[in-house]
Structures are given as structure tokens and as C-alpha cells.
Structure 1
Amino acid sequence: MVSIRAPHVAMAAAGLALIMASIAYVMRKEVAKDRSLPVKKSQENQCCNNGQCEKESKPVTVRILYGTHTGTARGFAETLQKKIFALNIAGYAFEPSVVDMKDYDQDNLEHEQVVISILSTWTNGVPPESAKVFCNWLQDMELDFRVSKTWLKHLAVATYGLGNAEYDEHYCTAAKQLSKNFNTLGASRICKRGDGDDNQDQSKHFEQWSDQLIAALCEQYGGLAQPKNNKEWVSQKEFRRQKRKEKAIAAGTDNEQVMITDEDRMNEIVLEDEDADEPVNKGDGVVDVEDLGVVMKESEAAALSREMVTPLQRKALTKEGYKIIGTHSAVKLCRWTKHQLRGRGGCYKHTFYGITSYQCMETTPSLACANKCVFCWRHHKNPVGREWRWKTDDPVELVEGAISRHQTMIKEVKGLPGLIQSRWEEAFTVKHCALSLVGEPIMYPHINEFCRELHARNISSFLVTNAQFPDKIAELEPITQLYVSVDAATKDSLKAIDRPLFKDFWERFLSCLRQLKEKGQRTVYRMTLVKEHNMKEIDNYVELIQIGQPDLIEVKAVTYCGKSDASDLTIKHVPYHEEVRSFCELLCSKLDGEYGLATEHAHSNCVLIAKTQFKIEGQWHTWIDYDKFHQLVQQYYKDGTTFTTMDYIARTPHWAVYDAPEHGFDPVETRFRRTKEGKVVEIEYTATDSGCG
């Protein structure tokens, strides 16, 4: 009686269905005829001396190598290992194993039978750190004239790349290069390379690719009863050369070139150019001019009907507390909302601008962004893009959905210890909207209509843009306060920190700053300080401030959100509050008296620098008269009457100004701390040097 170990029961059950589907796929698609499959010198089973087919055969070793930065490639590799292992239930003999490329002994490569590589691409098209040594070594082997171009002719390989198509020439380049290196060194491809786009359903695409890979493995290594013996591989190029020679001899000529067909030529192109892995159109590929417009419209329509957030991204964002609205928007309850509901202090916007934190809604009409910043506190679980190419939801429905979900989250916090009942009741009336959250809100095609809907409900608008869409800034109607993120002061450091998708990111960035100068309402530079990255470029920051001449400059220490595979930042990169203050004092000294140190919020490690025009008769006026703003903006909508920053200013209270003993903590609130025993106790407020905002 054959027994199956308990841990493998579930795997076997799931695997059996997969195997039967794979066999059906092989029979239906005749995978063996695919030109990308490796070819064996002989397809006959070896027989023993007594004429019986060999019953015992060593299992085929399948090495699954992965190179990862965020862990996705590792997860895919482990999933594939389970799939291949399940083939043994159906009578195959495979021995799959998963190895991190950084742990793989390169000397073993020439002794392998099957190698499957799953590799992501990181900044500037390079492999992730864990895969650099292996990838560079294989490339050296390819370039080394002493290494034979048939060195890996015995090896069957398959490669799957992870990347983002928005990065154009850097899309999956690490996997493409690796596949090319294998091919040049004589290895034969089991199936065509797969490229998984992070903006698509990557898991589904990998599943489809791995099913094709499984089918190809089944076909190459025999039927259900017994795997075929692993005989010596013949490269595709050599196989086709032999076939052309046979054709030439049959035609009575020894000139092989005469017999090269269009199909042969096409196959040679695919072989030599690894990037040409996609199926080739059998037609002439020509589109009539008359049909060109129709084709383009059909293509655009198909793109605009696609939802922005993939199922995997939706799952990741929902897990982090996001409430998804429609197909491309979200709302999330800010921790400062919960803090002030319990009387434990408001956020820095309360200190700087007088918002009521427990009546502020944090949302975004676009979860997509044009950057993948290293300090992104959402760890890049959202989509990216350079233009709007998704299904578009109605702005009124988005605002209503955001408020509804925000109010639902307010209901859910009723049981918080220390909740102030009157504040909780007031929190259902949203008065402020922070359009920052995650993504790039200004990408949303109806951002003006969205803000109009907020203002119609007497909700102020604080919009943050990553400074990559100057045209959108130019088209933006008046809002309460417009932010531009200034994450670095030089082209190289901005590229390193923001990791932008646009090639002309620096030109776009500068253009956004110039557009900011033309806006009539409150404008802000949001500067995030990251130690060892952007704190030594103070003279360059001065130049950028002169370009955009913002009303206000928020200088904040980067918020450390814990270890993430998507970022190399650690707590050591977070400057202390005193370091932020010193930076701001030096910056103001270089701005020739045009700006001054207005307020600070020590708990958030943040300082507000303001134009000296906000200091009237010795008193700072950085707060906002929200009722006045709504009157002005409604008049603008009615007859186009313009207004300026100074038309809706309000006096900053004494406790909020720079160097006040409260350091930005509202004295009507009560500060608490947690003891080593885990108890929460009330304490007299003192400024913190914590690097966490």
C-alpha cells in the first residue's frame, strides 16, 4: 500500500487537478511543436538489455532561482515549486528546489538539468541587490572569450521577470538580460520568457505563464507512466541548421542558405533577439491609413475601461486600513483624528493652519502615482502611471463615497478609551479634506469638479502633488492650499529619492515650481528631510525656493514606518527635531529675510517657514479663516472674481509659534505616554526628540 505524508495531502489533491489540466493543455496546444521548446537528439526511451523499458530513472532536478527586493519573486518561486512537486503524484519524476540567487553556488550551474529564474528589476533597470552577484557573473561568462558558446547546451532554462511597464526601457531588463546570457551560452529555453507588469494582475499572469511552463516540462519529460530520460540537449540554432542542411541535400544542393525560408528567418530573429519573445504576427502588420483612427480609438477605449487597482493591490491596501471607493479612490482614518477625539492633541496642520483634526478626512481621488519614493509610507502597494488610462469614476459619487466611508470609520471608534462624546458627534461633520494619502490626486481628470464638490459642502481642500504634472497645476482652480513635494534639491538626488517614471522628471519638476508661482492662493513647498540623502543641499534648496516663491515651506523629518523590503531607509535616516530646526534656521539665514521661522510641531518633527508678509505687527498669521475662504471661492465660481492668499489669513495663537514653550502642542489638549508596563499615563507636555512623526 502506498501512503502519502500528511503535509503533502493537500498539495497532492490540488496538484492532481493541475496535472490533468496541464496534460489537456499539452494535447490541445501541441506544445512540442513550439519553436521555443528545446529539442532532443532522440525521443526514444532507453531500454534495458532484456528489451523492457527502463522502470527506474533519476528524478529531473529543477532549480528555481529567485532574485527579489520586496519578496514577490520569492513567493512566486515557492508557488512554482509546489506546482512542480505535485507532478510527481501523476507519475512524473521532478525534484524542484528554491534557492535565493545570493545563496546559489555558481559552480553548480554547469551540472544542472533545468533552471528556472524569477527575477525582479529595481531602480534604473538593475537586478535587486540579492541577485547582482549571480547576474553579473553570468554576464561575465557570456563576455569571456575563453568560455564556449555551447557551455550550457545541456541546460534547459525558463525566465520570468517582474517589473513595471511604465519604466519603458527598464521594464524587466534584469530578466531580459539574464535570459539573453543563458541563450548566448547555449542553454535552451523551455518556454518563452514571461514579463509580469506590476500595474496588471501580476499573480494571474504568473499563474498563466507557470501553467505553460508546467505543460512544456510534462511534454519534454514524458507521459504519465514514466518520465523520459534526460538525454543531451541540442540547441535550437543547431537543430534548425541541421534541418536546413537536410532540406538542401534533399533539393540536390549543398548550399544551405538557398533553403532558408521565411519561417527559418523569423525563428533566427527570435533566437538572436531575446526581447522578441512575443508571438510574431503572420500577416504583413500593415494598417491602412483609413483604419488607423479606428484602431487607436479601440485601443484607447479598451485601456480606459480597465480598473486602476489590481486585485492584489486592492487586497494589500485594504489590509492596511484603506477603504476603496469605486475603482481608483480611497479614504483612510488618520491617527491624529483618533488622537484628538480623545483630547490627546492634533496634527501639525492644527498647529500650523488651525484645522480641527477630528473633522479632517484623508482621501485621494487617484491611488496611482508617477513616483516610487524610497520613503513612501505606503511601501509601494499602490499602482503607478504617467497618464490617466483607467476607468474614470464620477467626482460627486467619489466625494459622497469618501464622506460615507469616513463617517463609518468614525462610528467604529466610538469605543475608544477616553473618547470625548461631543467631539465624536462633531466628527461626523467633515470640515477639512487632506488630498494626500497615497497616489497623485492631481492626475484625476475631474480634480476641479472634485474640489468644487468639497467646497459646496464647506469642506476645505489641502492638495499635495508630487511635481510631475505642470499642466495639471496650471489648470487647477482655486483651492484652500496647494502643496508641491520638494523631496530633493538636485537632479541626481531627486532621481534617487523619488525614483520617478518620467524621463524628463527634472524638467517637469522645475516647470511645476514655476506654475506654483502663478497661483493666487496659498502655496506650500513640502520638504522631507532624509539624513544621508538630501540635507546637505541647502544652497540648492535656496535656488528652488527662488523659482517657485511659495507662501509657506513645511520642513519635516522623514517618517520611519518600520522595515520594508521596498525601502532601504532605517531609523538612522530620521533627523531629530533639533536637526530639523537647525536646518530651517540655516535655510532662513540664506533667504535674505524673505522668510521667517513661523511655527513648529515638535511631535511631528516639523517646522513651518513663512514669507515675512504673514507677520503683521509682530504677529504671525499662518492660520486660515475658513469661513472667509468659502465665501471667496463661491464668489469665484459665480462670477470669476479672483482672490489672494492674504484675503483669508488668521492669527496664529501664541502656543503654536516657533520657540514657544509648548512647541506646537495645543494647551487645551492633554498629552499621554505609555509606561514600560504598558499603562497609559497623563504627563505634562514636553517636546520629543523622537524621529517618528
Structure 2
Amino acid sequence: MANNEYFGADIASHASENYFMALWHTYRIPLILTALALLLITRTVLHLKVGREKIVYTPPPTPSEKAPLAANPQREQLVEKAPISAEVKKAGPKRVVGKVTRKKSPLGYKPASKDVKFQVLVFYSTLAGSTERTAQTLTTKLADTLKANAESSQYEFLAPIAHDLAELEDYDEYFLGLPKPEDDSQDIKYFYILLLPTYNIDTMTDTFIEHLQETHNDFRIDTAPMSALLGYAVFGFGDREGWPTEAEGFCSQATEVDRWMAKLTARKRAFPLGMGDTKVDAKERLDEWRQGVEDVLQNLGQTGNLGEGVVGSGDADESDVEEAEDDDVEVQSDGAVKLKRKSKKKVTSSMDDVEDIGRILQKGQDESEEQDEDEGAIDFTTYGKKNPKPTAAPKEMVPKGSPTYNALTKQGYTIVGSHSGVKICRWTKSALRGRGSCYKYSFYGIASHQCMETTPSLSCSNKCVFCWRHGTNPVGTTWRWVVDQPEDIFNGVKAGHYQKIKMMRGVPGVRAERFAEAMRIRHCALSLVGEPISYPYLNEFTAMLHKEHISSFLVCNAQHPDQLATLKPVTQLYVSIDASNRESLRKIDRPLHRDFWERFQRCLEILREKRFEQRTVFRLTLVKGFNIEDEAEGYADLVEKGLPCFVEVKGVTYCGTSSSGAAGLTMQNVPFYEEVCAFVLALTAALDKRGLKYGIAAEHAHSCCILIASDRFKKEGKWHTRIDYAKFFEHLESGKPFTPEDYMGPETPEWATWGNGGFDPRDERVYRKGKNKVPLRVEGEEAEVKVETKPALVEI
């Protein structure tokens, strides 16, 4: 019995243990969470009842209190335990009052205050002492200029200092990093000027160039260790008797230094490389160059950067990128500028320009077509009928922010007002770099770097298949927009042109003397885009050009006879003759006027009447498959009707746009230069058959362009196609009638005449890859014409 009781108790005890274990496993998680919550609540309550540590900070005594400074005042704090009083609770936490310390902006941008000092250092190399004397004189003149502009500058100018490269103990101090000021608290920004003669013997300049080269190629050193420099400028002295050209060594050492400094400073070239002949024009060239550098220094003092288009300025890259053999620039996210090593990836501009790459925005085309459909409901197209008055208020032709405005500005245009524009062409950039001017220089003596290309009307009445700006300019048959005043347009286009010229200042290869010349406009080509003659105040605009002795070259499309008849004399008047018959003209120009052929014929009659008042030109654009085959006779009939002073014949420039393709224009429509030559020979033969006295006067093979001139401009067997611009303005200002012969210029240079290519021998021809030259003998001519094996794809 006892055993049974013990056994029952054991069973009961075991059952009880199993029950509690099962209960624990069932409710263990809620129990644990409840316990943790109770502990947290208990700790919080106890923490609120106990006084917290109050930290009292004792600032270090000021010098005026004459108390010794603590070794480390940040660590010497008094800790006091006390309950938080009601006053402290009411006041809340203590606020920290002070100024935010901003990170310094990258060099080249506007500094924070005038505490920053500006130091110009002039480095020179000399053997006989002449360059040293020049450097000292330059330093004195710069000091006077900086002192005069001190009030308007945000920098504190320091007196310029001249250094002889031969006396520098270590080039690394100046040409690896930048000089360190004696007082570490000073913030000094540096600008370097280098004056370097070129010798045919080993000098310190050779050692200096070797140092720059080794610094750049040293893999242990940043590729642009001198990027903190505000800018630099180099001037070279040479002797053309020993080295006639740059290719043969004229100022070669200065050229080398300029190139390596561009790499080491991340392209902080502030002004183009200057060069002067020590026996001829060194003083004049140096004074001209110094004035340009002074302008840069003044701009640096006022704005803190080198100007638009220069690396570090933060502006768009309008100026050309470095050559393929140079390094590429990388602008980091923090604004710092460094150079990347050469890569095989092609660098492209952020700007779409049909002159260079043949691409434009389709969006702009759609917008212009919609504009033409919406606003073209009124019939303006019949010549001779009175135009109905528009019922709605006139609108702006190119409003800011519109797709058309965005497309044109993306291509590099500066839009002036609501309907005008200005742009520098690639020939301007080429001329600045000594790589040749356009055909207008070969034919008429117009220096491309002194020519402004603009238009007072971005609208056109044609949609030519070869137009470079398909879809990026509005169209219309009459003026139905807001009219800007000619004074505003004139001032605006000049300012826009000069602004774009300044953006070329840091481009490698730009010649200082041509840059200085480019800052004075001498010629104006009214042919940029659109139809300039449709602007209601065109005569007032050209009068403003002539008042400042700027020649005027106006191009019209032979669709506005009323405006052409009232046009006052310009330096040279062009009319585009794109076809010899009605059907071809309709296909090529795609005119909006219904009576386009009648308008065309009337313009030829007006041109015939004006041929003794001003120089008149027929401009023939040859499009293979459209207006070349069997049309020489038809063109000869048009010449006989208009009797122009000159006939320009050029091959079409293909822009590669989708709209051109839709119109039927492809690369197959671009004629080879030999085909243009053959057409010109056929046209002159047709003119001679009609008894018209015309001959082939000049050519510019690079532009695929040939000039036919009237015998009126031939004296003693020599062509005189160039213009005496001084005589033109003299006759114009006299108020008396005059003829084109009265301002006929000197003899056409031999290198520009037919059979000699037309490229200025003073410039350097730069060929792109794959463009080989082959000789071509034109039938009927003894001269050998050099042509390219590919169709011309250049802007004319």
C-alpha cells in the first residue's frame, strides 16, 4: 500500500513538472517581452528622478585679459551634478549661434572676399639682356594698369615680379606647384606671363622645356599639378630670316612652352600665344599682345575667371576642343579641373552644329512646320496682290524657350531680340588659328576672322533641300511678326559676335595678332540663316554698318522683288540662283510662294538694273542629280538676262539631316570638285557662245567654289576681283553716284587665280585623315588643279 502511494505521488509530481514545462514553452515569448518592457519603464522612471550631469564650458581667456591659455581648453570642462531647474526647462536647449564656414570655391571662380591677393609673375629667358629689359618694361606697365583697376577688382593686386628662368634654383617651386607665401595666413592667387626668345643653340629655355615635359609625363605627379593657377600667357621672340615660318622653327620654343603649360595647368591659357620678329615688328606685336593680356587681367579682377568658353569659367564650351594628340579635360563633380590621359574615345562637343557634324533637332523642325500650318492660313503667296491685314496681334518670331530658340542656341547661335541671330562660322575659327580663310578672302579679300556672320531675319520663304538648318528656323512668305528696332539689332549682334570671339581666346593655335584684329569687325555677311532682305528696316541696318566702315555682303533668295528694288547700295549683292528652269527651282528651293518663278524673273531684271550701282553676284549651288546635268545652257540664259558682275559656282554642302533625306538629298548628290570644274568650263563656253565677256577668275578648291567674273574687272590681262574697301566708303560718304569699277581693288593674288587652288600660302593647310590629294588636269587648261578624292563637306 505504501509503495502504491509513493508510486502515485511520483506520477503526480512528474505530471506537474510536465504541466509547468508545457506552460512555459507556450507563454515564454510574451513573458520575456513583458519583463523587458517593465525593465525599460523602471529605468526611464529612475533616470528622470536622478539629476543629470550639467556640462559647463569655460572659454579660453582673450589676450586682453592677460591670462595664460590652457593647454587644451576643449578638454578642460567642469562637470557638475544638479537637477535641471525649471528655468532651464523653460528656456529649452541652448542654441549655437555662428556663421557657416563654406568650402572655398574652385580656382577660376569668384573668390569670397577681397582678402585674396593677386600676384602676376613674369618669367623670361635671355642671353644678351634684351628680353630682360623687355620683361622689366612689361612689368612696369602691368603694375600701372593693375593699380589703375584696383578699385574695381575683388582682389588686392600685388606688384608684378619678374624672374629670370636661369636664376631660379628649383623649377618645382613655380612649375610643379605654386609658390608658397611667406605668411601661411595669406591667400595669394597667381598669374604667369612667359617671355621666351628662340635660339638655335642650347640655352636655359631647353632645360625649362624639358622640365615641363618630364613633369607632365611623370606618373607619380598629377597630370595637371598647376591647375590652381588663375591663368597664363606666353609671348615668343624670333627671327624670320633664320626661320621664315612657324613650321620651320619661328618662335618654336615659345610654342612648346605654351603647349606644355596648357597641359600642366588644365588649359588655363588666358590669351593666345604671341609672336614677334625681333628685327621687324616685335615691339608692335608685344604692345598689341600686352593690351590683350591687360584686358584679361582686368576681367579676372572683376569676375574671378578667364571668361566664357575657357576651362574653369563654368560656361559652355563654344571654343574648339584641343587637338587629338593633346590630353582631355575632366571637370570633376566638386568643380576641380584635371587632365585625363589620352584615350581613344572621341571627344564630341556638347553643341549640335550642322556646319560641323550635320545634325539638328527634329523637334525644331516639327515646331516650325506646325507654326507654318497654324499661322499660314492667310494667303500671302501671290505676287502683286495686296496682302490682307492680319487680324491677330503680331507675335515674336523666335520666342525665348521655344523649340526653335532652343535648337538654334544649341547650334551656337546667339539670338538677338526676337528675330535676329549671330554666329561665328568654322572659317572664322580656322583663320584665327592660321589654317586658312574662306573663299571670300581668295576672291574679294575678306579676312574671315574680321567677318561677322549675322541676319536680321531668321525666317525664310524657301525650304531648300540643301539648307543646313532644316527645321531650326521659321518660315513665312511675308513679315507677320514683331519688328525689333535696327539699333537694338546692330548693338546686339556686335556684342554677340565679340563674345564668341573672346571664347576662342584659350584655343590652342590661335594667333595673338589675328585675335587682336578679330576684335574689330571689318566685314558683315548677311547670310547666316533665313532671308535678311525681308526685314523691314534693312536699309537702316546696313547704314549703321557703313557708318562704322563695316562692309556689307547681302545674300537673298530672289523671292522678294519689292524689297530688292528698294534696297540701297551694299558692298556686294548676292542672289541665289539654284536652278535654270521652273521645275528644277521648285524641286530644289521648295519655295512657299505660288508665283515663285515670276518673282525669280523679276529679281533678275532688278539685278540687271543695279549692275552699275553695286557689285552683283549670281550664286549657283550645284546639286548632283538636280541642277548640273544639261543645265549649263539654261544658266547661261539667266546670266544673259541679269548680267551680274560675278558668278560663283560651288558644290552643295551635305548636312546629313533626316529632312534632307526626305527631300531626296543624299551624299550621292554632292558633286566632286572635278565635276564642278567641268560644269564651270561648260558654262563659260555657253557664255562665250552668246557673246558675253566672262572668264574664270579665281578658285577656292577647299570650299569647292569657283569664281566667274565679267571682263569689267580685268585690266591688262589681270583679274581684279578684290575690293578696295576704303574707296567704297569714300564714295558712299560723298553722296555722289559711283560704279563697281570705282572701288575695284588690287590684282587678284596669283595663288587665288584659276588653276592654283586658292589657298593662302601664309596659312597652314590641315588635312583630316583619309583625305588624300590627287592631281587633276582640267581639259582646256594648262594648269594642274589639286582636288580631294572625296566630295567637299565644308562650310562655304
Classify the TM-score, shorter chain. 0.5 to 0.7
Answer with 1 or 2: which has the greater Rg: 2
Number of aligned residue pairs: 404
Write the mapping of 1:364-443 to structure 2, written as runs, cut at 5 A.
364-443=455-534
Q: Is the CA contact 1:303–1:389 (under 8 Å) kept in the aligned structure 2?
A: no
Deviation at 1:166, TM superposition (A): 6.6
Moved more, 667-676 or 341-350: 667-676
SS at match of 2:608: helix
Task: Read off the aligned partner of 2:625 and give its amino acid letter.
Answer: E
Deviation at 1:498, TM superposition (A): 0.7
Write the mapping of 1:258-657 to structure 2, written as runs, cut at 5 A.
299=390, 302-309=392-399, 311-519=402-610, 520-536=613-629, 537-567=631-661, 568-592=664-688, 593-636=692-735, 641-650=736-745, 651-657=747-753
Q: Is the CA contact 1:526–1:553 (under 8 Å) kept in the aligned structure 2?
A: yes
Write the mapping of 1:38-53 to structure 2, written as runs, cut at 5 A.
none
Deviation at 1:312, TM superposition (A): 1.2
Tell me the alpha carbon deviations over residues 313-357 of structure 1, each in whole angstroms, 9 at most, x when there is no partner: 101111111100001000001100110101000100000100111
SS at match of 1:402: helix
SS at match of 1:655: helix
Moved more, 557-566 or 588-597: 557-566
Q: Is the CA contact 2:470–2:657 (under 8 Å) kept in the aligned structure 1?
A: no
State the match for 2:97 in structure 1.
none
SS at match of 1:624: coil
- Work out the CA distance in 2 between the residues paired with 1:432 and 1:475: 22
SS at match of 1:493: helix
Deviation at 1:309, TM superposition (A): 4.7
Tell me the alpha carbon deviations over residues 200-232 of structure 1, each in whole angstroms, 9 at most, x when there is no partner: xxxxxxxxxxxxxxxxxxxxxxxxxxxxxxxxx
- Work out the CA distance in 2 between the residues paired with 1:522 and 1:633: 13
SS at match of 2:621: strand
Deviation at 1:380, TM superposition (A): 3.0
State the match for 1:117 in structure 2.
none
- Work out the CA distance in 2 between the residues paired with 1:306 and 1:360: 28
- Work out the CA distance in 2 between the residues paired with 1:381 and 1:501: 17
Deviation at 1:388, TM superposition (A): 1.0
Write the mapping of 1:96-135 to structure 2, written as runs, cut at 5 A.
none
- Distance change >3 Å, CA 674–CA 543, structure 1 → 2: closer
Write the mapping of 1:146-185 to structure 2, written as runs, cut at 5 A.
164-165=373-374
Deviation at 1:594, TM superposition (A): 1.5
Q: Is the CA contact 1:166–1:501 (under 8 Å) kept in the aligned structure 2?
A: no
Deviation at 1:307, TM superposition (A): 3.8
- Distance change >3 Å, CA 603–CA 631, structure 1 → 2: same
- Distance change >3 Å, CA 166–CA 642, structure 1 → 2: farther
Tell me the alpha carbon deviations over residues 47-83 of structure 1, each in whole angstroms, 9 at most, x when there is no partner: xxxxxxxxxxxxxxxxxxxxxx99559999xxxxxxx
Tell me the alpha carbon deviations over residues 77-101 of structure 1, each in whole angstroms, 9 at most, x when there is no partner: xxxxxxxxxxxxxxxxxxxxxxxxx
Deviation at 1:170, TM superposition (A): 11
Unmatched 5+ stretches in structure 1: 1-68, 77-119, 122-160, 172-295, 678-684
Task: Read off the aligned partner of 1:673 and give its amino acid letter.
Answer: Y
- Work out the CA distance in 2 between the residues paired with 1:456 and 1:395: 13
Deviation at 1:165, TM superposition (A): 4.8
Unmatched 5+ stretches in structure 2: 1-359, 381-387, 772-784
- For the pair 1:664 / 2:764, whether they are aligned, the reply is no
Task: Read off the aligned partner of 1:525 and give its amino acid letter.
Answer: F
SS at match of 1:398: helix
Q: Is the CA contact 2:555–2:575 (under 8 Å) kept in the aligned structure 1?
A: yes
Deviation at 1:471, TM superposition (A): 1.0
Q: Is the CA contact 1:338–1:358 (under 8 Å) kept in the aligned structure 2?
A: yes
Deviation at 1:571, TM superposition (A): 1.7
Deviation at 1:603, TM superposition (A): 0.4
Q: Is the CA contact 2:364–2:407 (under 8 Å) kept in the aligned structure 1?
A: no
SS at match of 1:303: coil
- Distance change >3 Å, CA 72–CA 666, structure 1 → 2: closer
Deviation at 1:691, TM superposition (A): 2.1
SS at match of 1:581: helix
SS at match of 2:626: coil
Deviation at 1:564, TM superposition (A): 2.6
Tell me the alpha carbon deviations over residues 582-622 of structure 1, each in whole angstroms, 9 at most, x when there is no partner: 10111001112511000000000000000112111010010
Write the mapping of 1:31-70 to structure 2, written as runs, cut at 5 A.
none
SS at match of 2:767: strand
Pairwise CA RMSD: 2.6
State the match for 1:130 in structure 2.
none
Task: Read off the aligned partner of 2:703 and give its amino acid letter.
Answer: S
Deviation at 1:395, TM superposition (A): 0.7
Tell me the alpha carbon deviations over residues 5-43 of structure 1, each in whole angstroms, 9 at most, x when there is no partner: xxxxxxxxxxxxxxxxxxxxxxxxxxxxxxxxxxxxxxx
Moved more, 554-563 or 438-447: 554-563
- Work out the CA distance in 1 between the residues paired with 2:365 and 2:452: 37
Q: Is the CA contact 1:372–1:380 (under 8 Å) kept in the aligned structure 2?
A: no
Q: Is the CA contact 2:453–2:527 (under 8 Å) kept in the aligned structure 1?
A: yes
- Distance change >3 Å, CA 71–CA 327, structure 1 → 2: closer
- Distance change >3 Å, CA 417–CA 674, structure 1 → 2: farther
Tell me the alpha carbon deviations over residues 495-522 of structure 1, each in whole angstroms, 9 at most, x when there is no partner: 1111111100000000001001111110
Q: Is the CA contact 2:651–2:676 (under 8 Å) kept in the aligned structure 1?
A: yes
Deviation at 1:467, TM superposition (A): 0.5
Tell me the alpha carbon deviations over residues 556-576 of structure 1, each in whole angstroms, 9 at most, x when there is no partner: 000012233344322211111
Tell me the alpha carbon deviations over residues 181-203 of structure 1, each in whole angstroms, 9 at most, x when there is no partner: xxxxxxxxxxxxxxxxxxxxxxx
- Work out the CA distance in 2 between the residues paired with 1:676 and 1:595: 37
Q: Is the CA contact 2:442–2:698 (under 8 Å) kept in the aligned structure 1?
A: yes
SS at match of 2:437: coil
Task: Read off the aligned partner of 2:619 and give its amino acid letter.
Answer: R
Deviation at 1:539, TM superposition (A): 1.4
- Work out the CA distance in 1 between the residues paired with 2:515 and 2:479: 38
- Work out the CA distance in 1 between the residues paired with 2:596 and 2:365: 32
Tell me the alpha carbon deviations over residues 445-486 of structure 1, each in whole angstroms, 9 at most, x when there is no partner: 000000000000110000000000111111010100000000
Q: Is the CA contact 2:397–2:474 (under 8 Å) kept in the aligned structure 1?
A: no
Q: Is the CA contact 1:309–1:383 (under 8 Å) kept in the aligned structure 2?
A: no
SS at match of 2:528: coil
- Distance change >3 Å, CA 458–CA 306, structure 1 → 2: same
- Work out the CA distance in 1 between the residues paired with 2:365 and 2:495: 39
SS at match of 1:591: helix
SS at match of 2:687: coil
- Work out the CA distance in 1 between the residues paired with 2:725 and 2:533: 22
- Distance change >3 Å, CA 410–CA 595, structure 1 → 2: same
- For the pair 1:688 / 2:792, whether they are aligned, the reply is no
Q: Is the CA contact 2:425–2:453 (under 8 Å) kept in the aligned structure 1?
A: yes
- Work out the CA distance in 2 between the residues paired with 1:654 and 1:570: 36
- Work out the CA distance in 2 between the residues paired with 1:504 and 1:74: 25
